[in-house]
Amino acid sequence: MTDEFDTEIYYDDDANSAKIDDRTVAVLGYGSQGHAHAQNLADSGVDVVVGLRESSASRSAAEADGLRVATPADAAAEADVVSVLVPDTVQPAVYDDIEDGLEPGDTLQFAHGFNIHYGQIEPPEDVDVTMVAPKSPGHLVRRNYENDEGTPGLLAVYQDATGEAKSEALAYAKAIGCTRAGVVETTFREETETDLFGEQAVLCGGVTELIKTGYETLVDAGYSPEMAYFECLNEMKLIVDLMYEGGMREMWDSVSDTAEYGGLTQGPEIIDENVRQNMEETLEGVQNGEFAREWIVENQAGRPAYHQHKQRDIEHEIEDVGAELRDLFAWSEDEETADEETEQERVSADD
């Protein structure tokens, strides 16, 4: 462990592999996270069975990777640790299928706390409930493991019926390669609420709206769509990469003095107190469950608003301009291949 941060961070030496060596782990789902967890666990010597529907298109892939496959119900009944790695919207239905197979002392494990935190899944009191969440897409979790590298992750214990929940979760995290890089201890509430807020206010919702608004402002002022795209979207990756590698200071030190002065003075004018107030309201909606209830009802109704919003975003002019400009770059073919692989993982994740 390290004392450099307020939160606990665990590494390989903090994890006892024996806590999972004699356990059978059922990995439910074989999408982005599922395939990585299952293969890494198996390569670490853990007994793994993959839980997939009989009609699942991922069954052949899991079997080709040398893994045993059973239905989710049969896999859960056999296992001591059940890792639920299907999408949030699918989890309650899957849980209904596996609930009878859970025995006292078993572990129900997640990679995201949504359904536990918002009460969509209510586990029995005699099982451990934990979270091991790599902070990376599954294909990188797998690649890093194969390269003897690690992927940072999160660990949380919601329910400790056996007194061994944390030790077993650490052993699981080690088996998939997370403790090589460091595992940060959190709670189901903190992980869920910060994750949802970050997605909505900054990473997905905030950034995309900022980009589109900047693009529209330039185009409406008479500048070419191509220039607007380059300045408001294309160069975003360059800036984010700098911040990712060395924080905001690295970014400021790397751009021109003109860019730094303009950004430092005008940034707070754009992202002002009104934006902060809007963010606080978004956070409140996450904390009080308003967003969760809305999303649950949206799925029950067949996702009408979801599809409407998604279509509106697809039809934005910036997407057409970007598609044409990206063809100019040498990396476009590699990017297209990566997009296809990501879509395949998204489809198989529904299993």
Tell me which amino acid residue 224 is.
Answer: S
How confident is the model at residue 332, as a pLDDT? 58
Alpha-carbon span 67 to 332, nearest angstrom = 34
Distances (CA, A) of 216 to 225, 230, 263, 270: 9, 13, 19, 15
Integer angstrom CA distances of residue 341 from 134, 135, 138, 256, 348: 19, 19, 11, 37, 11
Just list the catalytic residues: 112
Instruction: Provide the pLDDT for residue 250.
Output: 96
- Which residues of the chain register pLDDT less than 50? 1-5, 342-350
Report pLDDT for 337. 52
User: 124: exposed, middle or buried (C-beta count within 10 Å: 0-12, 13-18, 19+)?
Assistant: middle
Element spanning 159, H or E: strand 153-159
Mind listing the pLDDT tens digit for each residue in 214-226? 999 999 999 999 9
Read off the pLDDT of residues 165-197 as tens digits, 9 standing for 90 and up.
Answer: 999 999 999 999 999 999 999 999 999 999 999
**pLDDT tens digits, residue range 231-244?**
999 999 999 999 99
Q: Report the interhelical angle of 290-300 vs 273-287 (nearest 10°).
A: 70
Rg (CA), the chain: 22
pLDDT of amino acid 329 = 80
> CA–CA separation, 19 vs 336, rounded Å?
42
Whole-number pLDDT of residue 327: 87
Alpha-helix runs per DSSP H in the chain:
18-21, 32-43, 59-64, 72-78, 91-98, 114-117, 138-146, 165-175, 188-197, 205-220, 225-229, 236-254, 257-270, 273-287, 290-300, 304-314, 317-326, 332-349
Query: What is the pLDDT, as a whole number, of residue 343?
Result: 46
Alpha helices in 23-164 (DSSP H): 32-43, 59-64, 72-78, 91-98, 114-117, 138-146
Does this model's pTM top 0.95? no
